[in-house]
Structure 1
Amino acid sequence: MKALLEILSDGKFHSGEALGKSLGVTRAAVWKKLKSLQSLGLRLDSVPGKGYRVQKGVELLEKQKITKELRSGFADSLEMDFFVTIPSSNDVAMSKARSGIKKNYFCFTEHQSLGRGRRGRTWVSPLGNNLYFSTLWTFYNGIAGLEGLSLAVGLTVVKGLEQLGVQQLALKWPNDVLLAGKKAAGVLLEVMGDPAGECQVIIGIGINIDLPTTSEAEKEINQSIAAVSQYTPNKVTRNKLAAVLIGKLSEMLTIFQQEGFGYFLNDWQNYDAFFEQPVNIIHGQQNIPGVAKGVDVSGGIKVLTADGLVVYKGGEVSLRRRIESYG
């Protein structure tokens, strides 16, 4: 499948016969492979007499291109894997953690069949359009030392996108990146190891780079979404963004290990999309109205409610903007 994808990545038409010769398979086998790629979300054109092409082509993730963008020697401290399709990059990173890997690890994939977001939600992952990856990092201060980490990761994604010219970025507590008020990226953290000592954190990140249509995806995840390509005058290449985020995440995680979320608190609040806005806190069956007042040093959101100022933690609740009605 990867060899076929590499041929089609140029966006030009290729006949079934030519594809079969290049791959050493029959035209029937080529057709089956093409159908498999389509089922993963790849946009294919089929024109009699011309053959098959990927609409606009596709920029495949390549280790060589990514490492070329990193500072000299830095890639030697990392281990990276690249896949066409896997169930979940977080699951692969978790397997690496169980294997006892010592280097910091990054797993990239063109497609996820079981990509997931916060609170068990689905992350829509069409092949080749976006950026899906996970990183594995070891911390030594126990789970308590990880408070606010998902917020710091979201902030790092914003900084990386800004570096490449993306505009209208904001953050929704605890870990969503917004573009013009719509979700463009999300973060999922999973932890394994000693709750009081050394533990491994798997950080999964999904970023919408170029979505052909948002209506179907919006129905599936039940919220408005945006793509990076809509909010930058320049094309954001997936390999360049991957390299930028590897560098920025590595820098942030090193600082976070020593300083915690407090180091990033003020910067995060500069991007807070809901600060001083009326919100609803969804806690189980409860719907608690209030006004968002930023976050505290633990990464909890401060909400002014009828009972006073209350701090809520990310694992407990969801946040929704409350639309005031008058009349």
Structure 2
Amino acid sequence: MTDDRGAPDDLNAATIEAVVKGRLGRPLRYLDETPSTNSEALGWAQAGAPEGALVVAGHQTTGRGRWGREWFSPAGTALTFSLVLRPPLDPSSAGLLTAAVGVACAVGIRSSSALRPRLKWPNDVMLDGRKVAGILLESRVEAGRIRAVVAGVGVNVKTLTNAPTDVAERATAIADHVERPPSRALLLADILAGLEDLYRDAATAGFARRVIEEATGLSEVLGRGVMVRLAGGGSLEGRAERLTSRGELEVRTEDALVTVHSGEIERLRTS
């Protein structure tokens, strides 16, 4: 593999299988190019893919983020993958999985590059105030139970070039902060190892406690003033107080302590 800034690394099935050692990441479906790893993984899950099944793309052409946004990802610059999970969790606790994947991404980036990422609730991984990775979880729920969750992750590894202005203003890449960014295969292995370390406790009472403790320690948001755009429309402003045991964000406004189940932080203040 080559880790020089701007040079392509050897991301393929063989290099991935050589470094991914745990249960998560097997079986592997590697694609040189695909419109969306999440779409590929969702179809695979529907067809019966086991927990741990992994879709990795060398290039994702029309990846998507939350609320229908497109993920900007020039060929060879990003690590894009989707993991099939079949968690023993109630659908109302699905936010815990987003937090767990966020923690794993931060830990994986730190392990492979010595950088110190932070988490911006609910699904962004940040470096120096800019987004280096995004997470999109999509679930299939039947009869009130989670049948499958696909955890999609995109990490900007190489410097983004020719990015649209709105992306350039808020995004960053690992290569912008270190001389030699990690290979995408090794970064993937570190992220999956971090997630497996957390996820092995998913069926226990300690899973929520550990995930929230680690996500709290990595939070870019808690203790700061925020403006939150709500998924159902509208917004609120206040101070981000804590993460609940289900991964929700509690915000103290002028009038009340509000639990935000689904939303997006549009603005952060220092206090």
Per the TM superposition, whether the score is higher than 0.5 is yes
Q: Shift of the alpha carbon at 1:76? A: 9.8
How do 1:1-327 residues align onto structure 2 when only pairs under 5 Å count?
Answer: 56-71=6-21, 74=22, 78-213=26-161, 216-219=163-166, 221=167, 224-258=170-204, 259-283=206-230, 284-314=232-262, 317-322=263-268
Contact between 1:160 and 1:241, CA under 8 Å: does it hold in 2? yes
Distance 1:218 1:167 in 2: 25
| Secondary structure of 2:258 counterpart | strand
Structure number with higher helix proportion = 1
Q: Shift of the alpha carbon at 1:276? A: 1.6
Contact between 2:160 and 2:173, CA under 8 Å: does it hold in 1? no
Structure 1 223/292 Cα, relative in aligned 2: closer, same or farther at 3 Å? farther
Structure 1 299/105 Cα, relative in aligned 2: closer, same or farther at 3 Å? same
TM-score by length of 1: 0.74
Percent sequence identity is 24
Q: Which has the larger radius of gyration?
A: 1
Q: CA RMSD in A?
A: 2.5
Structure 1 222/261 Cα, relative in aligned 2: closer, same or farther at 3 Å? farther
Q: What code does the residue aligned with 2:140 have? A: M
Q: What code does the residue aligned with 1:291 have? A: R
Q: Shift of the alpha carbon at 1:263? A: 1.9
Contact between 2:104 and 2:194, CA under 8 Å: does it hold in 1? yes
Structure 1 311/75 Cα, relative in aligned 2: closer, same or farther at 3 Å? closer
Contact between 2:63 and 2:70, CA under 8 Å: does it hold in 1? yes
TM-score by length of 2: 0.88
**Deviations along 1:255-309, whole A, 9 cap, x unmatched?**
2343443221121111111222111122355332211112111111111101121
Q: Shift of the alpha carbon at 1:109? A: 0.5
Question: Which of 281-290 and 90-99 deviates more?
Answer: 281-290
Distance 1:197 1:122 in 2: 29
Q: Shift of the alpha carbon at 1:112? A: 1.6
Q: Shift of the alpha carbon at 1:198? A: 4.9
Gaps of 5+ in 2: none
Distance 1:173 1:298 in 2: 13
Distance 1:100 1:212 in 2: 36
| Secondary structure of 1:102 counterpart | coil
Aligned length: 266
Contact between 1:142 and 1:199, CA under 8 Å: does it hold in 2? no
Distance 2:116 2:152 in 1: 23
**Deviations along 1:205-260, whole A, 9 cap, x unmatched?**
000001243x62442x4851010112235431111111222222233222234344
Of structures 1 and 2, the one scoring higher in RCO (CA 8 A, sep 6+) is 2
Distance 1:61 1:298 in 2: 35
Kindly report structure 1 stretches of 4+ aligned residues shifted beyond 6 Å. none
Structure 1 75/102 Cα, relative in aligned 2: closer, same or farther at 3 Å? closer
| Secondary structure of 1:147 counterpart | helix
Distance 1:69 1:211 in 2: 24
Gaps of 5+ in 1: 1-8, 11-54
